[in-house]
Amino acid sequence: MAVAIQVESLGKRYRIGQRLRYHTLRDRLGYALETPFRFLRGGANGGSNGKRAEIWALRDISFTVNEGEVVGLLGRNGAGKTTLLKILSRVTQPTAGWADVVGRVGSLLEVGTGFHPELTGRENVFLNGAILGMGRREIARKFDEIVAFGEVADFIDTPIKHYSTGMQMRLAFAVAAHFEPQIMLVDEVLAVGDSAFQKKCLGKMDQVARTGRTILFVSHQMSQIRRLCERCIWIDQSRVRMDGPAGEVVSAYEAAQMDSSEESTGHSFLSWEMAGQKQTLRDGFREVDVRMQLRLSQPISQGHLGVGILNEANFTVVGWGFDGIHLPAGLQEISLKIPMLPLRPGVYTMVCSLFDRGNNLTGGQLVDHWYATPPLMVDTAPLAHPQDRWAGVLNVPAELQVNETVAVGTSTGQ
Amino acid sequence: MQTATTTHPAEIHARALRIAPSHGLLNLRLREVWEYRELLYFFVWRDIKVRYKQTAIGAAWAVLQPFLTMVAFSLFFGQLAKIPNNGLPYPVFYYCALLPWIYFAGALQSATNVVVEQQRVITKIYFPRVVLPISAVLGGLVDFAISFGVLLALMTYYGIAPTAAVLWLPVFLLLAILTALGMGLWLSALNAFYRDVRYVVPFLVQFWMFASPVAYPSSLVPERWQWLYGLNPMAGVIEGFRWALTGQGLPPGPMMMASTAGIVVVLVSGLIYYRAMEGSIADVV
């Protein structure tokens, strides 16, 4: 069988801070005077004091993917899956090793890349298609299909700033779903959208997979991986930990997540779910019981836990802080009961920070900080304004009533 | 860096795209840019489409800016300061120079910012990054064309007919584009690493204008310094515009040659620097 992707001893090193902030010229001027050539090589080299920590996001990765294989990539957040896809799609360069890729590569690291709010749906389809790597003719040929798939036919000539988030997502997915390169790199993009549309996209992916295309697929949803992939690669702490049939790798991965005897990885957070509804919230007005599995290498006394829920715009919709926490070392489950959670439909991130010997005011000593994965999906019927920009962040219904007893001539803001 | 020790199938050798740490400063991969010309077209098209969205007077801005500047220059530099004008009416004298200058200044600003503005796309999709500054520089040409219409009206009003020199105009326009691109390559790559650049550019543009024959004719510069003055690429371009459009002023000479040499240096060095930095732009932007 022909080889589609061959990866050999691939590595990627980041300097800490490189991705997080940009440098000001002043930081560098003194350094530049000493080594002018390094200065011209910009952020890729050097620092103001020459001492910078490095992180290997990927290390010594080797594997081969044959043509037509559908391979799932597993691993917890920060393991290096996205970095691997970015290298294979040439968004970023490796620091060591090499990869050979045969055939046209298309990457879906997110959907709707390059969408411009002022442009109409039609214009954005062409723009987004071109950015993904489709030719103008190819887009024109598939245009009707894309619009039908995205269910936005009536608004195709309206600027997408007037679309709801859901509509924008659907249109973006529709373009992505009709993108058919020989090798496809997909990063978790199927994790969003409402559940009916998600099913439709999965169906489309299934279909694409059957046409003999090579797919490398990152997901945190094991059901998706089991359904789509015959083979899985598990990446753990920047290295390949296991590579084999999907069923086996998924089981081993899940077992490792649960197994408390596993040596500590330095992370406290293992997994989370909402009692009775996994990670998808379908009713915002019932009590939600958020359960998180943690593994602590040290006991916490008089600790503090901060939990925040962030929407797609990284806006903190709600946050809580709990003081006086006592947790023994080892595997723990904490349960967070929230009487109601009337959030707008969408994808949310739960952020937690755990402190030792601290409280709401002092913070204390940070033990761990994590983003709960997979993300929190809210799949409820929208109750507020149909246009996103007026709807706000709460999803609560309101009733309007005209009271006839109001005296004539009195102005009220009905 | 490690080298491959395993053997791999011969067929993959032949057709594969090799992804590895890059080296080699002089590989400009210009053919790849040509392969991505359709994306370049879409970037330019988007720029033009959204430029005047949600403005009250739309594309009239493309005319107002050079026109009002011309009025101010004619009034203060012309009527009050009595700057020599090559025998041209001040409005025509200034507008001829402002046309390429405003294009250049605008193109330089958008090329500087384009990498930062398009950071989402850069961190998600691969394409030759050099497409971005090229698209930024080309996007300004529509405004240029619109404001060119006003020049034709002005020249008709003052009864100035272009001479055969007007055939040189496309050459000067091309030089203006290449200058903006060359500087834009330097500044946009630097801007990805150091946001200071964003604050430097407005000053740079201002100083550069005084160093170019926009508000005055280059004949004010002593002859023995003309070649040095000409190393500023825009000096040759602007003087060239005046000469090509009206037949007045200095025809292309030593100054023009110095300018062309300056443009080549800026452009080639810009390309090399940009290409060298390209790989790490997605990691830092």
Q: Do B283 and A40 touch (CB under 8 A)?
A: no
Q: Do B193 and A8 touch (CB under 8 A)?
A: no
Segments of B20-121 assigned E as strands: none
The C-alpha atoms of residue A388 and residue A196 are separated, in whole angstroms, by 20
Q: Do A99 and B21 touch (CB under 8 A)?
A: no
Partner residue opposite A116 with nearest CB, options B4, B18, B50: B50
The reply to whether B2 falls in a domain is no
pLDDT digits (tens, 9 = 90+) for A94-108: 999 999 999 888 888
Task: Nearest chain A residue to B280 by CA: give it.
Answer: A44
The reply to whether B199 falls in a domain is yes
What average pLDDT does this structure show over A367-385?
82
**Whether residue A53 has pLDDT greater than 70:** no
The C-alpha atoms of residue A192 and residue A166 are separated, in whole angstroms, by 10
pLDDT digits (tens, 9 = 90+) for B240-261: 998 998 887 767 777 788 889 9
What average pLDDT does this structure show over A71-79?
85
Assign A22 a pLDDT band (cuts: 50, 70, 90).
Answer: very low
The C-alpha atoms of residue A259 and residue A251 are separated, in whole angstroms, by 12
Q: Which CATH architecture best describes the domain A269-391?
A: Distorted Sandwich (2.70)
- List CB contacts of A76: < 8 A, sequence separation 6 or more: A236, A257, A267, A373
Mean pLDDT lowest for which of B46-60, B101-115, B180-194? B46-60
Task: Nearest chain B residue to A64 by CA: give it.
Answer: B8
The pLDDT, as a whole number, for residue B186 is: 94
The pLDDT, as a whole number, for residue A101 is: 92
The pLDDT, as a whole number, for residue B160 is: 86
The pLDDT, as a whole number, for residue B180 is: 95
Q: Do A127 and B42 touch (CB under 8 A)?
A: yes
The pLDDT, as a whole number, for residue A312 is: 75
CB A123 within 8 A of CB A163: no
Indicate the pTM of the whole model: 0.72
What average pLDDT does this structure show over A152-176?
87
Q: H or E element: which one contains B38?
A: helix B37-51
Count of all residues that appear for chain A in the document: 414
**Whether residue B53 has pLDDT greater than 90:** no
CA distance B236 to chain A (A): 29
Mean pLDDT lowest for which of A4-8, A273-277, A289-293, B202-206? A273-277
Query: Is residue B272 exposed (0-12), middle (13-18) or buried (19+ Cβ within 10 Å)?
Result: middle
Question: B127 contacts in A (CB within 8 Å)?
Answer: 131
pLDDT digits (tens, 9 = 90+) for A253-284: 888 876 533 444 455 777 888 887 778 888 88
Among the listed residues A169, A157, A246, A230, the one whose alpha carbon sits nearest the alpha carbon of residue A200: A169
Question: B53 contacts in A (CB within 8 Å)?
Answer: 118
When the pLDDT of each residue in chain B is averaged and rounded to a whole number, the result is 85
CB A369 within 8 A of CB A354: yes
What average pLDDT does this structure show over B114-143?
91
- What range does the domain containing B105 cover? 33-284
Strand pairing partners for A372? A350
Specify the higher pLDDT residue, A364 or A290.
Answer: A290
The pLDDT, as a whole number, for residue A261 is: 39
What average pLDDT does this structure show over A37-62?
61
The pLDDT, as a whole number, for residue B4 is: 39
The dihedral built from the CA positions of residue A239, A260, A357 and A318, taken in this order, carries a sign that is positive
Query: What residue spans in chain A does CATH classification 2.70.50.60 cover?
Result: 269-391
Number of domains in chain B: 1
What average pLDDT does this structure show over A39-57?
54
Among the listed residues B204, B98, B175, the one whose alpha carbon sits nearest the alpha carbon of residue B144: B98
Is residue A307 helix, strand or coil? strand
Q: Do A102 and B17 touch (CB under 8 A)?
A: yes
Task: Nearest chain B residue to A42 by CA: give it.
Answer: B193
Segments of A251-400 assigned E as strands: 269-274, 280-281, 288-296, 300-310, 316-327, 330-338, 346-356, 365-378
* DSSP string for residues in A238-282: TEEEEEEEHHHHHHHHHHHHH-TTSPP-S--EEEEEETTTBTEE-
The pLDDT, as a whole number, for residue A24 is: 53
The C-alpha atoms of residue A74 and residue A89 are separated, in whole angstroms, by 18
Partner residue opposite A132 with nearest CB, options B125, B195, B277: B125
Assign B1 a pLDDT band (cuts: 50, 70, 90).
Answer: very low
Query: What residue spans in chain A does CATH classification 3.40.50.300 cover?
Result: 3-11+62-255
Assign B193 a pLDDT band (cuts: 50, 70, 90).
Answer: confident
Which residue matches tokens 């295309």? Answer: A213
The pLDDT, as a whole number, for residue B26 is: 57
Q: How many CB atoms lie within 10 A of CB A132?
A: 22
What share of chain A in percent tops pLDDT 90?
A: 25
Instruction: Return the DSSP state at A336.
Output: E
Q: What is the gyration radius of the CA atoms in chain B, in angstroms?
A: 22
| Encoded amino acid at A229, one letter | C
The pLDDT, as a whole number, for residue A282 is: 84
The pLDDT, as a whole number, for residue A298 is: 79
The pLDDT, as a whole number, for residue A66 is: 93
What average pLDDT does this structure show over A115-141?
91
The C-alpha atoms of residue A360 and residue B110 are separated, in whole angstroms, by 46
CB A177 within 8 A of CB A149: yes
Question: A32 contacts in B (CB within 8 Å)?
Answer: none
Partner residue opposite B19 with nearest CB, options A94, A113, A126: A94
Task: Quote the tokens at residue B6.
Answer: 């395993």
Which residue matches tokens 């799949």? Answer: A379
What share of chain B in percent tops pLDDT 90?
A: 41
Mean pLDDT lowest for which of A312-316, B221-225, B238-242? A312-316
Task: Quote the tokens at residue B157.
Answer: 């009003």
The pLDDT, as a whole number, for residue B87 is: 80
What average pLDDT does this structure show over A346-351?
84
The alpha carbon of residue A75 and the mean position of all alpha carbons in its chain are separated, in whole angstroms, by 13
The pLDDT, as a whole number, for residue A363 is: 66
The reply to whether B241 falls in a domain is yes
Would strands A105-108 and A183-187 be described as parallel, antiparallel, or unpaired? parallel
The C-alpha atoms of residue A20 and residue B32 are separated, in whole angstroms, by 30
Count of all residues that appear for chain B in the document: 285
The pLDDT, as a whole number, for residue A100 is: 92
Is residue B130 helix, strand or coil? coil
Mean pLDDT lowest for which of B10-19, B44-53, B93-102? B10-19
CB A356 within 8 A of CB A343: no
Q: What is the gyration radius of the CA atoms in chain A, in angstroms?
A: 24
Superfamily of domain A3-11+62-255: P-loop containing nucleotide triphosphate hydrolases (3.40.50.300)
Strand pairing partners for A304? A323, A355
Assign A227 a pLDDT band (cuts: 50, 70, 90).
Answer: confident
CB B111 within 8 A of CB B187: yes
The dihedral built from the CA positions of residue A168, A171, A174 and A178, taken in this order, carries a sign that is negative
When the pLDDT of each residue in chain A is averaged and rounded to a whole number, the result is 81
The pLDDT, as a whole number, for residue A46 is: 40
**Whether residue A191 has pLDDT greater than 70:** no
**Whether residue A155 has pLDDT greater than 80:** yes
The pLDDT, as a whole number, for residue A407 is: 61
Highest mean pLDDT, choosing among A170-174, A361-365, B106-110, B224-228: B106-110
The dihedral built from the CA positions of residue B60, B66, B72 and B75, taken in this order, carries a sign that is negative
CA distance A130 to chain B (A): 6
B152-B153-B158 Cα angle (round to 5): 100
Question: A131 contacts in B (CB within 8 Å)?
Answer: 39, 42, 121, 125, 127
What average pLDDT does this structure show over A38-44?
47
Question: A90 contacts in B (CB within 8 Å)?
Answer: 19, 126
The pLDDT, as a whole number, for residue A20 is: 38
Interface probe for B, chosen from A1, A5, A8, A82 (most Cβ of B below 10 Å), is A8
The reply to whether B18 falls in a domain is no
What average pLDDT does this structure show over B190-210?
90
What's the half-sphere exposure (Cβ side, CA atoms, 13 Å) at A255?
Answer: 6
The pLDDT, as a whole number, for residue A262 is: 42
